Chain A
Amino acid sequence: MSRESALVSTQWVEDNLDTDGIVVVEVDEDTTSYDKGHIRGAVKLDWTTELQDQVRRDFVNKQQFEELLSRKGISNDDLVLLYGGNNNWFAAYAFWYFTLYGHTNVKLVDGGRKKWELESRELTNEVPERAATQYVAQEQDRSIRAFRDDAVAAIGVQNLVDVRSPDEYAGRLLAPAHLPQEQAQRAGHVPTSINVPWSKNVNDDGTFKSDEDLKALYADAGIDDSKDTIALCRIGERSSLTWFVLKELLGHQNVKNYDGSWTEYGSLVGVPVALGDEPGEA
């Protein structure tokens, strides 16, 4: 895994919009942004209605994922290029999701929707029509997904990387500052988790920082290369971005994303919680 295998530039996307076997997919936190204009030919994935089970708190299952991609006209051998707003938060989440179900021919558009817009590249309202496919997914790759018991077991043992903003980590805020703050769960962080905000991975224009800068970032933060790593945030999407950096750009082994993240952990009865800016004791 490397920058070359996991990322494409906005220019590369523009140059390859008409290439067969390439499907551009937009996934946004704001699920209406596709409808306000998108990259020509891009397919929309709605993370709230299409990637989440609509009853239980979980992902769509293998069969649902197969039906979804078949309906969207995505084939097993297509190269999927993911982009989205908010510095690719949800595009990275979708990248992790595609990887979870075994679709390895997938890349992120470096800088995502923001860079595309800031460069004044073309957006269209035309929705493409793609013929349905017979997509076949793999079983979930559990080596990249952490559950609550994994997070609790990792306290004081593995690298726990909490990628929320410093104020959320410390317990001063419960959600990102563009969302209302009223929530049911307790504030704080998993003891011994280190705080490396996801935003440190990216430049102002949404592109990823250089490998050298990213290596230095995690070395300085105290990541122990000899240990497995779990990334978490509030609902698992920002930590997908950090999972992407550690696993796909820096090539770390055994990196899991904890998609339950703080909205689950902070609601568990009886688990330890640390407050303030320091990681705290196991």
Chain B
Amino acid sequence: MCGATKGGLSLDGVNVAKEAVIQGQVLRDGEPVESAYVRLLDRTGEFTAEVPTSATGHFRFFAGDGEWTLRTLAPKAETVDRTVVARTGVVAEVEIAI
């Protein structure tokens, strides 16, 4: 089977070959954070998209080729920025500790 790496979101139903997927999980002390917000910023720092994390702390974006920044906001936590490179046909998995 192609797709999901260990601990990652299932990619069932996603045409991975045509998408530049960025996905991952937000963790606090190793535990999933379900009330966080992950913002996707483009190479110029411009906001592109935002998703709330799921009950298991997961998030996913369908981006384009290039470098992106993930900005994570959560209650009672400092904002965390992480850069990630996305490529069509590749699933970029990111774990974010807050």
Contact = CB atoms under 8 A, between A and B. Distances in A.
A186 B15 CA distance: 20
Nearest to B47: A199
A178 B49 contact: yes
Contacts of A130: none
Contact of B19 (A117, A119, A172, A181): A181
B76 A178 contact: no
B40 A178 contact: yes
Interface of A: 30, 33, 36, 85-87, 114, 117-120, 165-167, 172-173, 175-182, 197, 199-200, 204-205
A200 B42 CA distance: 13
A189 to B, nearest CB: 16
A177 B63 contact: yes
B51 to A, nearest CB: 5
Contacts of B50: 86-87, 178
B83 interface: no
Question: 4 closest pairs, A vs B, by CB?
Answer: A199-B47, A177-B49, A178-B49, A120-B75
Interface residues of B, number: 29
Nearest to A30: B52
B58 interface: no
Most A CB within 10 A of own CB, among B42, B71, B76? B42
Contact of A172 (B14, B52, B64, B79): B64
A181 B48 CA distance: 14
B62 A177 contact: yes
A198 to B, nearest CB: 9
Contacts of B64: 167, 172-173, 177
B61 A178 contact: yes
Given A117-B35, A166-B42, A181-B62, A176 B75 contact: no
A114 B76 CA distance: 13
B62 A197 contact: no
Given A30-B52, A117-B35, A197-B47, A179 B75 contact: no
Nearest to A86: B50
Nearest to A177: B49
B46 A197 contact: yes
29 contacts: A30-B52, A86-B50, A87-B50, A114-B52, A114-B73, A117-B52, A118-B37, A119-B75, A120-B76, A165-B47, A166-B44, A176-B48, A177-B40, A177-B64, A178-B40, A178-B50, A178-B61, A178-B62, A179-B62, A180-B14, A180-B19, A181-B18, A181-B19, A182-B15, A199-B46, A199-B47, A200-B47, A204-B39, A204-B73
Contacts of B62: 175, 177-181
Nearest to A202: B47
B52 A33 contact: yes
